[in-house]
Amino acid sequence: MKENKNYRILWIISFFVIVSFWLLLGSTLINIYSNLSYSLDNNNNFFNSEIYNYIGANIPFLSMWLGFYFCFKYINNIKISKLINSKTSIDVKLFTRVFIFSITFFIVVILIGALLNLYDLEFIENKWVERLILIPITLILTPLQVIAEEILFRAVILKIIIKDYDALTNKKKTLLHSIIISLLVGIIFIIPHLYNPEVDSNFISAISYYLLFGSLATFSILVTSGLEIAIAIHLANNFAITFFSTYENSALTSIPLFIERNEINGAKYFEVFCLLLLFVIIAIRERNKIKAYLSQKQ
């Protein structure tokens, strides 16, 4: 089945079907998982552990992948690889260099935040067995969770709005269109994160962070016609939190080396600034792609 004049309707249908798999089937699977875990764990050692919580938090994203399979096979007839990069094959080199730079950047930012007394880094002791068990699980589930979020809240939404990532690279469209669409997708990206615990404790800064990431990640997709940069930064952020340092009220259950305690009000705004700085640095590093994108709009 090829995309036709009804492509937007098909993508809208796909979006709601995938969300249904994610929320409805996901919640059902979580209940089954919880009941099964509770019945098999007489001492509640696993039922109350970080490992249990981490797996449970990622189950809805596994059900989202079932939604992807159903929609992309029977409704849209498109390969997931074509959603990650619509022009050519997936740019592994671009993803790798952005990921390595980003995770290094996030770790440095955490250390600078501690040096600036924005929070105290407390070493998490006596969790080495649980940490070792969680590492391979995290290496599998976190990429699935990140890619799922990027496909649903970036790729599918962009398909609904403009059909093709590079649809704006013509004389009839302007840079302003790209910015408006990026902001729109960024606002939509906020919605599924409204119930995260960090939003309750730091509403303005948390919303600013999600809006900034959602908008700039979307703009990177329009520039490169692919999700590689968005996925790389998103994955680097989650891995830094999961393996190196988490913070109180984090939605990502993990057992990293450190936890950020006694966080002051300015800490989250520092992270928002650093996220903007990260995108600026990557834009400078990938300036040839931006020049090519802008030249098509002249």
pLDDT in tens, 146-184: 999 999 999 999 999 988 887 666 555 678 888 999 999
Mean pLDDT of the chain: 89
pTM, 2 dp? 0.92
Nearest CA to 47 out of 38, 39, 55, 35 is that of: 38
Q: 264 pLDDT band (50/70/90 cuts)? A: confident
For position 169, what pLDDT does the model report?
61
| Cα–Cα dist 130/114, whole Å | 26
Q: 2 pLDDT band (50/70/90 cuts)? A: very low
| Cα–Cα dist 212/110, whole Å | 19
Contact of 166 with 87, CB cutoff 8 Å: yes
Residues 250-277: what's their mean pLDDT?
90
**Residue 5, pLDDT above cutoff 70:** no
For position 125, what pLDDT does the model report?
86
Residue reference for tokens 């592994």 = 92
| Cα–Cα dist 245/258, whole Å | 5
Structure confidence by residue, pLDDT tens digits, 109-133: 999 999 999 999 999 888 888 889 9
For position 173, what pLDDT does the model report?
64
Nearest CA to 258 out of 123, 77, 116, 142 is that of: 123
Structure confidence by residue, pLDDT tens digits, 182-235: 999 999 999 988 888 888 778 888 899 999 999 999 999 999 989 999 999 999
More confident residue, 63 or 47: 63
Residue 9 tokens read as: 């309707």
**Residue 35, pLDDT above cutoff 60:** yes
Contact of 245 with 259, CB cutoff 8 Å: yes
Residues 8-26: what's their mean pLDDT?
95
Contact of 260 with 248, CB cutoff 8 Å: yes
